[in-house]
Structure 1
Amino acid sequence: MPVKKHTFDDLVRIEQVRKIESAKAEDLSYASIQELPRSANGDFNYADFIQRLNTRAKRLIQENTLNDALQQPHRQFIRARRICLGVAVILGGLAASQAVGDYSTLNIYWLLAVLLGFNLISLLLWISGITLNLQSLSSGIVAQLASWLPYRHKKDPTIASLASHAWWESCLTGDVGKWRISVLTHKFWLTYLIAGMVLLILLMLAKQYNFIWGTTLLPDSTLPRLTQILGTPLEAMGLKIPDDPQTVASRIGVSKQDAETRMAWATFLIGALLVYGIFPRLLVLGLSLVMQKWSEHRFKLDLYLPYYIELRQRLMAREVKAEVIDADPLAGVKPAEVTLPPANVAIPSNAQAFGIELDQATNWPESVTCRLNIIDQDSHDEAIALIKNLNGPLLLGVAAHRLPDRGVQRLIKELVDSSNGKPWLILLSKPSAPVTNAREFAWFRLAEACGIPAEHVITQ
């Protein structure tokens, strides 16, 4: 049976179900997944595992009517995005209207400073944030507010809140979140610029304006020179911009402008908004959209979480059928079939076991014989020599109740690097020292750091 390609939305849905199950498992019904088929073989395959998780999640969602709760955070984000874009329209219109004087004049450089200045600052902050990987700079204040408002009730125990937290963590954090919020940021500023430009065009269509400029601190030649610099790309595009006499004649207090000067300034204004505001935003918006899709394509579930470790052992187990050996008291009835424990959860039969600083009270499974317990430098050197010549897979046993420190991590990493095949890690426990979920999670993280596959972590 071919494995279907999973989408980012599938992974988000699985994460939402994980969050809900982790806190509200007792409130859910599991009747629809009792007969969920297992893998046809014991080999772990990521795509196959995700397909089974997705099937399981869909059944739980349908059985427990969770679809509305899972869709709610996405709808809230869309609502927040619309509010942000509405605010951008208002701000863009206000910025343009404030540059229009009381006497049918339009201060050209004040308008460019209001519309393009803030946009330029935002763009520079975004580039700095993306380059330095600082989400607080690359997101923008309004976009961060949109992502922050609906999802901050972390102590809310309801299913809807848990689904919102999972959606927020998947869609608005990490690489996916960085680019998703970047898209919202660029849409905000595009809307701001377009709203301001449209209002200006409508005003200039309905009324005659004189374009003026003035300065107190700068030399008189500064703004005319700036006009020529900004107008160079516009002239290359075939647009006519004010020449030096027209620029000088437009200073505040000079005589009234003619129609040609007004048309040149209007062309310069619209062209500058397009070239220095809208076009750059469109480019970075396109880049952000592409990178968002790429990040979503690369997004993977954290299979080292205990939740996924447990489900892997259940969903990816080899299904083995065997006849009942005992005599059946009912004559003529076909022998029953039973499912044996998951074969890929079992420790490999030819595994070579080594202990990591285990005490005498820590017991190995009956089927495993520990070749060496590493407790000092001599046993460490001996273990390295043995591991380099192993014929079977390496099995490392650790005391699960202990907190893994850097020393243990370095030791396990060295042993793993010395082995030839894929190593295994078994978490051994003892009755006198129960293992907490946090401690178990710490060992899963250590396995990830040491290059031990998630499917090779066994809890005993």
Structure 2
Amino acid sequence: MTALTPLERLWLTEAVRLREEHAGALEDQEANRLARTAGGDLASRIQYRAQWLAERDGLAAALRHWVQGARLALMLLALLAIVSGAGLAFAALGNGQAPVNVFWALGSLLGLNLLLLLGWALGLLFAGEQGASLGRLWLWLSAKLARDAKAAQLAPALLLLLQRRKLNRWAIGTLVNGLWLLALLSAMAILLMLLITKRYEFYWESTLLGADAFVAMTNALAAIPRAIGFGAPTVAMIHASTRDVYNTELVRQSWAVWLVASLIIYGVLPRLLLMLFCRWRWKRGQARLQLDLNLPGYSQLREALMPSSERLGINDAAPDLLHRIEGGVSAQDSDGALLVAIELDDQRPWPPQLPATVKDAGILDSRESRHKLLEQMSRFPPARLAIACDPRRSPDRGSLALIAELARSATATRVWLLQAPPGQALDAERLGDWHVALQQLELPFADCVPLNWLETGHD
């Protein structure tokens, strides 16, 4: 199975639970058997089962598509933030033809950011669903860009999983503050570029506020920048900026430094610290994230995955749809060669003469024999497996499902379609049904015993 992060394993498990809750239980006999073989506690077995079912049914591939769509959506939002930040800088300084009102410029750079930051903080304190609109936009874009119909339950599963530890707020908080940080950094870069390449003249004016009030506000905003070494306009420069003599080089430079320092201190740094804080809370909560085993979808799996007494046999009906076969084990995990037959009658002598290196697994003609062999192959998977079938029988769903399950427990598999006994003939139509079914399973087949392949691995 594909390697997944702990969060992705939990996410897939929750998605499989939602799918079974809405559409009914999946055919999971083989998944349960492999999960029992893998061992571990109940939560580990549930996750193993869910990942196996997700790989089989295409949900794991849908998750990978969704994650790719989420990354692309995040890149689009980041691009939008960069363009918006550049727009803030151009709006603050204008085209350079007219003097710049310093407080209008500061309001353009920080006003919307501070209002939304206050709304985010209030939502965090009282509602806990801050930034929900931006989060919904990101989820919507992720789903659209994933373009996978099987991803319908992935977003709800992720939200339900994160809500159990209230991690939504920290995930959205990281997203919101990160995008605003990107926008403000973009604004700062464009602001510096404009201030370096153009000459701007700064002034202030007010109908209701006098010079003393304006000086007090400017000094209050400049207190922190001045304390950490940034320059700020003096009282004389502030008074001078209301008269025609304001456009001296020193005054212009002082106002420019004050604008950049205010953007960094009151815009960039708060967003950076909040993003790091949300990221820290997200990482801390993610490490503690686990399944809620009391949910009905999980609690009812306890007996199947951790049975109080081992049951033999296959109890579930054959699946309606047979899935594509892929080797369930690697060459490093497997060893030896095995020959097994499915439901042969007494007219055919069995087994054939076999080399010493090829083991005979007998004839599978009961649920107990099937279960025993599958359990053995889970622990000791063969490198090469030959499955002998009697093509006089119809390729029913149960036999094909068993062939598929056996093939997934071996590195390489071939099907041996036996010749008819002397004096009998094979039905051409039924033989064609076998060929079609095995081609759908993508398993090689032949009408002669593959002894050389079993013994050496070569034809």
Matches within 5 A, 1:303-342: 303-320=293-310
Matches within 5 A, 1:187-202: 187-202=178-193
Task: Find the counterpart in structure 2 of residue 16 from structure 1.
Answer: 15
In the alignment, does 2:240 pair up with 1:249? Answer: yes
Residues 82 and 171 (structure 1), Cα distance of their counterparts in 2 relative to 1, 3 Å cut = farther
Cα RMSD for the two superposed structures: 3.5
Task: Find the counterpart in structure 2 of residue 130 from structure 1.
Answer: 124
Structure 2 distance, partners of 1:227, 1:255, is 19
Q: Deviations over 1:183-241 (max 9, x none)?
A: 11101211221111111111111111112222223233222211111111112112221
3-state SS of 1:221 partner: helix
Residues 172 and 149 (structure 1), Cα distance of their counterparts in 2 relative to 1, 3 Å cut = farther
Task: Find the counterpart in structure 2 of residue 69 from structure 1.
Answer: 62
Task: Find the counterpart in structure 1 of residue 380 from structure 2.
Answer: none
Residues 272 and 260 (structure 1), Cα distance of their counterparts in 2 relative to 1, 3 Å cut = same
3-state SS of 2:202 partner: strand
Task: Find the counterpart in structure 1 of residue 31 from structure 2.
Answer: 33
Which of 1 and 2 has greater Rg? 2
The match for 1:208 among 184, 199, 205 is: 199
The match for 1:175 among 147, 163, 166 is: 166
Q: Which amino acid aligns with 2:14?
A: E
In the alignment, does 2:268 pair up with 1:259? Answer: no
Task: Find the counterpart in structure 2 of residue 106 from structure 1.
Answer: 100
Task: Find the counterpart in structure 1 of residue 44 from structure 2.
Answer: 51
Q: How many aligned residue pairs are there?
A: 316
Task: Find the counterpart in structure 2 of residue 83 from structure 1.
Answer: 76
Task: Find the counterpart in structure 1 of residue 258 from structure 2.
Answer: 268
Structure 1 distance, partners of 2:57, 2:155, is 17
Q: Deviations over 1:220-268 (max 9, x none)?
A: 32222111111111121122211011111123x5224222112211211
Matches within 5 A, 1:116-127: 116-127=110-121
Q: Deviations over 1:119-157 (max 9, x none)?
A: 22222222222222431xx226434432356569xxxx9
Structure 2 distance, partners of 1:12, 1:316, is 22
3-state SS of 1:35 partner: helix
Q: Which stretches in structure 2 are left out of the alignment for 5+ residues?
A: 313-361, 363-367, 372-459
Q: Which amino acid aligns with 1:105?
A: P
Give % identity: 28
How does the TM-score come out when normalised to structure 1? 0.61
Conservation of the 8 A alpha-carbon contact between 1:172 and 1:181: no
Larger displacement relative to structure 2 (176-185 or 312-321)? 312-321
3-state SS of 2:301 partner: helix
Task: Find the counterpart in structure 1 of residue 280 from structure 2.
Answer: 290
Q: Which amino acid aligns with 1:9?
A: E
In the alignment, does 2:275 pair up with 1:277? Answer: no
Structure 2 distance, partners of 1:8, 1:73, is 14
Shift of residue 320 of structure 1? 4.1
Structure 1 distance, partners of 2:18, 2:311, is 34
Residues 95 and 250 (structure 1), Cα distance of their counterparts in 2 relative to 1, 3 Å cut = same
Task: Find the counterpart in structure 2 of residue 357 from structure 1.
Answer: none
Structure 2 distance, partners of 1:181, 1:305, is 26
Structure 1 distance, partners of 2:186, 2:31, is 52
Residues 193 and 112 (structure 1), Cα distance of their counterparts in 2 relative to 1, 3 Å cut = same
Matches within 5 A, 1:374-393: none
Q: Deviations over 1:329-366 (max 9, x none)?
A: xxxx9xx7999xxxxxxxxxxxxxxxxxxxxxxxxxxx
